[in-house]
Amino acid sequence: MYQIRTDLALETQEKMQEDHVRLKGVRFFEERVDQNLTISTVTIETENGAKIMGRPKGTYITIEASEMDEEDDGYHREISIELAKVIRKLLPVKKEELSVLIVGLGNREVTPDALGPRVVDNLLITRHIINEYGKYAFGKNEVNRISSIVPGVMAQTGMESVEILHGIIKETKPELVVAIDALAARSTKRLNRTIQVTDTGINPGSGVGNHRHGLNEKSLGVPVISIGVPTVVDAATIVNDMMYNLVDAMLKSGAFKELGDSLDKLNDGEKYELIQELLTPNLNTMFVTPKDIDESVKRLSFTVSEGLNIAFADMNCELS
């Protein structure tokens, strides 16, 4: 079995099912909110399950919206509300007031990687106002202290994100860190149409094979919720999908049936290795993003930031 390149636990779970792998210690639940909106939950409960899935124990909630990439303010508002519900569900600390540090990971200069910084641009930041004037400046008895940071990438700062955050956490003492980052997907249909929220933290750059130190409770000393949207897909994965379609077409065509039979005898891993050999060295490290990624990231950043604003605006407010 080959390792598919994806940051989405849902896609890993789907691949395991396709390969008929027994997922002991892993639970899956799917809820259809409406015709265009589905929420899936993958819960990894054991170390064995974590080993099979290739990711830490915890809860991975995926919001799939087939029209998330469309320009519809009302629909995006609906997604934001569902995102707020998911965030509140994963809160490790149940309090009327929380001190939250929101981290926008990624490179603002690279559009597919700019989601985190752009989400931070649209947040309602309250910590400085509360420190200066008190929470009653908002006309409420309870107000969450929200602060944010865009740590940039190592090429810009010369520092790991975890190093920067250590200093900030030491000084500001948040009770929760929320990290936002762009992800890589296995399926092109999930690009810019999926939001993954997890309580396990995140590894910046892992989606494109650029592994950095993880941001999680163990490394930062406080609980971490991560939110990600897949904006890129591995080029080898796209070619792999095309090969499946090609083999299927060949098997159905009498003229190419013999060639189709020979390709069909290769297992998934052998097909993927063949594709990587064919792509190397020109395309093997290439990641693909949609042509309208500029507008997509702009819309998605508002959707995610609104979800965060709703989630932390008033902890006593019930979300309908």
Tens digits of per-residue pLDDT, 80-122? 999 999 999 999 877 778 999 999 999 999 999 999 999 999 9
**Whole-number Å distance between alpha carbons of 201 and 216:** 4
CA distances to 48, 57, 76, 263 from 183, in Å: 25, 19, 20, 31
Residue ranges of domains in the chain:
9-231+291-313, 238-279
Cβ(68)–Cβ(295) under 8 Å? Answer: no
Q: Which residue has the higher pLDDT, 84 or 140?
A: 84
Q: Has residue 299 got a pLDDT over 70? A: yes
Round to whole Å and give the CA distance between 59 and 65. Answer: 20
Give the pLDDT of residue 1. 42
Which one has a higher pLDDT value, 98 or 271?
Answer: 98
* Alpha-carbon span 207 to 196, nearest angstrom: 13
Residue 245: pLDDT over 80: no
Q: What is the pLDDT of residue 207?
A: 47
pLDDT of residue 62: 96
Query: Which range among 28-32, 196-200, 245-249 shows the weakest confidence by mean pLDDT?
Result: 245-249
Any idea which of 108-122, 189-203, 284-298 has the lowest mean pLDDT?
284-298
**Pairwise pLDDT comparison (69 vs 296), residue with the higher score:** 296
Dist CA 235 CA 287 (whole Å) = 5
Quick one: tokens of 265? 């005898």
φ/ψ (deg, to 5) at 197:
-125, 130
Cis ω before 230 (30° cut-off from 0): no
User: pTM (2 decimals)?
Assistant: 0.85
Q: What pLDDT was estimated at residue 269?
A: 64
Give the pLDDT score at 277. Answer: 66
The pLDDT of residue 123 = 95
Residue 275 has pLDDT above 80, yes or no: no
Least confident of 134-143, 179-188, 201-210, 212-221: 201-210
Looking at domain 9-231+291-313, does it have CATH number 3.40.50.10540? Answer: no
Q: Is the pLDDT of residue 274 over 70?
A: no
